[in-house]
A and B are shown apart, each in its own frame.
Chain A
Amino acid sequence: MDSFWSALLEALHLVITLDSDLLEIIGLSMQVTITAVSIACLIGLPIGAAVAAFRFPGRTFLAVLLNAMMGLPPVVVGLLVYLTLSASGPLGPLGLLYTPTAMIIAQTVLVTPIVAALTRQVIEDLNTEYAEQFASMGVRAADRLAALLWDGRYALMTVALAGFGRAIAEVGAVIIVGGNINHVTRVMTTTIALETSKGNLQLALALGFILLVIAFAVNAAVMALRASAVRTAYA
């Protein structure tokens, strides 16, 4: 019990004094996850919206596939990205394994289906409401997609936040492709896993505390977005 309290105190000390190792780890986590979620949105938003708004062969299959891929186990994603990037893999020559880029790729693969599937749900409802009006106005396909994405902006921001929440808290994939190398690929979750197993609890606790704060902040942001969308009837 004594060691628990002393670890907690030391963890607080790390946070309050803005320990440089701690900041580096948080910084890399944020950089990796924000980059991955941005790419996932760039890919997932149009795909999800297109599946929702257009009829084309294979549309239902794609919708089912996206939903199924939402639940991809992170370790499996990590393994697949590892195999692709490893020396003998198809992208081996790029030498990306155990770099932040590898972690970005893994998180992007993990989050893109989530963004796309949730986007499809959001845009499908909106499209049902708008379809006839748009047909009457003669809105072209690309403009329709853009209008649906824009009018779904509040709900879609919460989709992006959901993707962020999933990626920042994920450990299985990034530890496989990143390797948790000190000062290179150590992010919050991998550090917590490693330091805990080494019995170095204060850093793990400090990072765990930060992760919790981030989770709360993301949820608060989602609730604030919802409230403001409801207030302006933009929900």
Chain B
Amino acid sequence: MRDLSPETEGSMSTAPHLAHSPPILTVQDLTFSAQKTVLLNAVSLNIREGSRTLIMGPNGAGKSLLLRLMHGLIKPDAGTITWKGRANASEARRFQSMVFQRPVLLRRSVFANLSFALGVHGLRGKLKADKIRAALHDAGLAHLETRPARVLSGGQQQRLSLVRALATDPEILFLDEPTANLDPASTSAIEQLIMKASARGVTIVLVTHDQGQAKRLGEDLVFLQDGEVAETGPAQTILTAPQSEPVKAWVDGRIYLGSKAGY
């Protein structure tokens, strides 16, 4: 997928190894309204193949909405989403996975949750069972295999939904605040799973509010404010030397007074 030596992982640089990486997904002039309110306005961005892209911005900026649109769960009012050079490709979702802001686990055991996801992708029998056990083992969830998924702790549920998303070998993984409400150890476990997937070449698109996490994981960054892209570029540059007013305010932990949201 990309030639990347492991040492560059988590590098604090501007991800130079990706400078010439082609986009796997391109968003152009994306607009989405609901109830006469423009929620996303002319959003354009590139997700480079094999990169880790952060989507950041205040509550209600449209981050989750943008993920849903990129994943093809909802249709935009205007604009195009190009997957590997093909505009609005309907089959793209088969090669993508998404971890939602709130984990949606089936009312079944941990094992059965993974079994369902792999079954959808046509895996059967021993091949499937072996894959499930390996994935659970890698994520440190092996001892919970027979547990009903919905009695797991929040952190375990979040980890399980990440494992489920990765089990189907996606080319791109959308993550919507996967570590919100998690303790540092659970956060670290999730970040390790993300980095492992990234090292395998999986493109990562991550929504987060956590600046520490952004610095640890981010290569590219898209900052949304009131449904518009306020700033985009290498994560380290933006996080250390923001140019636009909304991002400056956000990095300093101030409320951006120019916001249309009107706090």
A residues apposed to B, CB below 8 Å: 129-130, 132-133, 135-140, 143, 147, 150-151, 232-234
Contacts and interface: CB of A to CB of B under 8 A. Distances in A.
A233 B150 contact: yes
A233 B148 CA distance: 7
Max chain A Cβ within 10 angstroms of own Cβ: one of B100, B107, B108, B119: B107
Contact of A233 (B104, B107, B116, B119): B107
Contact of B120 (A130, A143, A232): A143
18 contacts: A130-B104, A130-B106, A132-B68, A132-B73, A132-B104, A133-B100, A133-B104, A136-B93, A136-B96, A136-B98, A137-B168, A143-B120, A147-B116, A151-B107, A151-B108, A232-B151, A233-B148, A233-B151
Nearest to A153: B107
B48 interface: no
A132 B101 CA distance: 12
Contacts of A232: 148, 150-151
Contacts of B96: 136
A130 B120 CA distance: 15
The listed residue with most A CB atoms (<10 A of its CB), out of B94, B106, B116, B148, is B106
Contacts of B108: 150-151, 234
Contact of A234 (B71, B97, B148): B148
Given A137-B117, A232-B150, 8 more contacts: A136-B93, A138-B93, A138-B94, A139-B120, A147-B106, A150-B108, A233-B151, A234-B150
A147 B148 CA distance: 16
Contacts of A130: 104, 106
Contacts of B93: 135-136, 138
Interface of B: 68, 71, 73, 93-94, 96-98, 100, 104, 106-108, 116-117, 119-120, 148, 150-151, 168
Nearest to B91: A138
Among A133, A139, A143, A151: residue with most chain B CB under 10 A = A133
Contact of B104 (A129, A143, A234): A129
A233 B151 CA distance: 6
Given A138-B93, A138-B94, A151-B107, A132 B120 contact: no
A232 B168 CA distance: 27
A192 B117 CA distance: 53
A132 B100 contact: yes
Contacts of B71: 136
A137 B120 contact: yes
A24 B28 CA distance: 75
Nearest to A139: B120
Contacts of A147: 106, 116
B66 to A, nearest CB: 15
A135 B120 contact: no
B33 to A, nearest CB: 20
Contacts of A234: 107-108, 148, 150
Contact of B106 (A135, A136, A140, A151): A151
A232 to B, nearest CB: 4
A139 B116 CA distance: 10
Contacts of A139: 120
A150 B97 CA distance: 23
Contacts of B100: 132-133, 136
Contacts of A143: 119-120
A112 B202 CA distance: 49
A233 B149 CA distance: 8
Interface centre among A137, A140, A150 (most CB of B within 10 A): A137
A52 to B, nearest CB: 16
A55 to B, nearest CB: 15
A102 B116 CA distance: 42
A55 B97 CA distance: 25
Nearest to B98: A136
A135 B104 contact: no
